[in-house]
Amino acid sequence: MASALETRVLECIVSRDLASFRAPVLLMVSGGSDSTALAYIAAALRDAGELAEVSMLHVNHKLRGDASDGDEAFVRQLADLLQIPLTVVDVDVKRMAEEEHDNVEAIARRERYAAAAEELADLCRASGVPVSEGRIFVAHTADDRVENFYMRSIVGTGPGGFRSMLYLNGQVARPLLDIGREELRDYIIGRIADEKPVLRDGDESLWREDATNDHTDRFRAYVRHEIVPLAKERNPQLLETLTRTMNLIGDEDDMLDEMAAGVFEQHVTWLEPAEQGCVLSPWLAAERVPILRRVVVRVLESLLGYDARIQASTVDAVLAAFEGGKPVSGYVANIQGNLAVSANREGVRVEPMAAFRTRRNRL
């Protein structure tokens, strides 16, 4: 019999269409309390016939020495306990960060999701279902979502940013987004009383703790340990309250996105090949700014990648190519990702700077 929490997760999966019940589900499991709970819940739903094929992925970033290897060992034992197929990928994130002169956390996230996408594609092909139907389950919780909300409150955000997280973003699904971290930990502990299989590591812990989570020199950790506790003192139901608020924002965001999608299809023409950019119709200048802004964001995401953090200044630079109900002839700007924005009476072109220079040299 499913527990109350397992039932809530299933209701979230069904109501938000987070999984196709004939396609594989890949769980991203680090060994922390959230992802460990996700593994237990997914195994229970699989055993009840509510999920189809379930597999696990663990990415060892090699950042914490023996502790990272301990996380991997814990996840391997968890997969054996729950009889869930497991794939482990080793990535030397520190070395990659040094070579690319980039942020360790950004590279870790990029490599983690790249590994998940590749693994899910293999699972879907082996199961004979379209890759688009497969899902990657991640263990983001209501706590993570609230932390994102406050982080964006501090640094600012763009259209729809205050919904904080999507339940479904492409193939990435977040079935635990309505559930708090403490609820998940109580669920794991409660399995002992219910005499259900529970894994303990060498220290008798029921999940692995990442010591870096206690550091407040990182922005998220600062919000987690300094900002959110103060807000919870004022409102002990903070998670539930903000979840409702963010879902209301999300409903309106979805409506505006649907409107922007129609405008996008009508007024954005991709060049051949599409990597060379696109042309925004001059008629876009007649659209209201909130819709036009969302169209521009869609264009930039297509060119820079959907994981790219689109800067507000970048969007503003494209919007500036429209003024007075028409494109600003002669306007040129170099924006994020080394893209060029140029305008004439035929529209606004967004393209790689190299393509822009080649085209201009031919004139």
- Write the CATH number for 227: 3.40.50.620
Q: Count the Cβ atoms, other than its own, within 10 Å of residue 288.
A: 9
- For residues 332 and 191, membership in a common domain is answered with no
Identify whether residues 212 and 73 lie together within a single domain.
Answer: yes
In a domain, 249, yes or no: no
Split into its structural domains, the chain has a count of 2
Find how far residue 19's CA is from the centre of its chain: 16
Residue 214 pLDDT > 80: no
Same domain, 215 and 122: yes
pLDDT-derived band of residue 12, with 50, 70 and 90 as boundaries? very high
Confidence band (pLDDT; 50, 70, 90) for 243?
very high
Confidence of residue 216 (pLDDT cuts 50, 70, 90): low
Statement to judge: residues 298 and 199 lie in one domain:
no
Are 301 and 347 members of one domain?
yes
Residue 337 is assigned to a structural domain of this protein: yes
Give the model's confidence band at 309: pLDDT under 50 very low, under 70 low, under 90 confident, else very high. Answer: confident
Is residue 258 in some structural domain?
A: no
Q: Does residue 290 belong to any structural domain of this protein?
A: yes
Q: What is the share, in percent, of the chain residues with pLDDT greater than 90?
A: 78
Across the chain, mean pLDDT equals 93
Would the pLDDT of 51 be above 90? yes
250 located within any domain: no
Please check whether residue 254 lies inside any domain of the structure. Answer: no
pLDDT tops 60 at residue 312: yes
Shared domain check, 145 and 72: yes
* Mean pLDDT confidence for 76-96: 95
Is the pLDDT at 203 greater than 90? The verdict is: no
Residue 160 zone, left/alpha/beta (φ > 0; ψ -120 to 50; rest): left
Contacts of residue 312, defined as CB under 8 A and 6 or more positions apart, other chains included, come to: 156, 158
Q: Please give the C-alpha separations between residue 123 and each of 48, 59, 138, in angstroms, as whole numbers.
A: 21, 17, 17
What residues form DSSP beta bridges with 350? 278, 341
Is there a domain that residue 251 lies in?
A: no
In angstroms and rounded to an integer, the radius of gyration of the C-alpha atoms of the chain is: 23
- pLDDT digits 0-9 by tens, 270-281: 998 877 899 999
If pLDDT is split at 50, 70 and 90, which confidence band does 173 have?
very high
Query: What is the rounded average pLDDT of the residues 245-269?
Result: 96
- The reply to whether 161 and 94 lie within a common domain is yes
Does residue 248 lie in a domain region? no
User: pTM to 2 decimals?
Assistant: 0.86
pLDDT at 107: 87
CA-wise closest residue to 54 among 64, 63, 41:
41
Please report the pLDDT score of residue 217 as a whole number: 62
Domain coverage including residue 321 = 271-362
pLDDT higher than threshold 70 for residue 267: yes
Is the pLDDT confidence value at 299 over 70?
Answer: yes
Position 245 scores a pLDDT of: 96
Same domain? For 60 and 121 the reply is: yes
What per-residue confidence (pLDDT) applies to 335? 96
Residues 6+ apart with CB under 8 A from 188: 33, 36, 37, 40, 198, 206, 207
Check whether residue 277 and residue 232 sit in a common domain. Answer: no
Domain match, 216 and 314 both? no
User: Is the same domain home to 231 and 276?
Assistant: no
What is the model's pLDDT at position 213? 60
Mean pLDDT throughout 173-195? 96
User: pLDDT grade, residue 230 (50/70/90)?
Assistant: very high
Q: Please tell me whether residues 73 and 10 are part of one structural domain.
A: yes
Average pLDDT over residues 136-160: 93
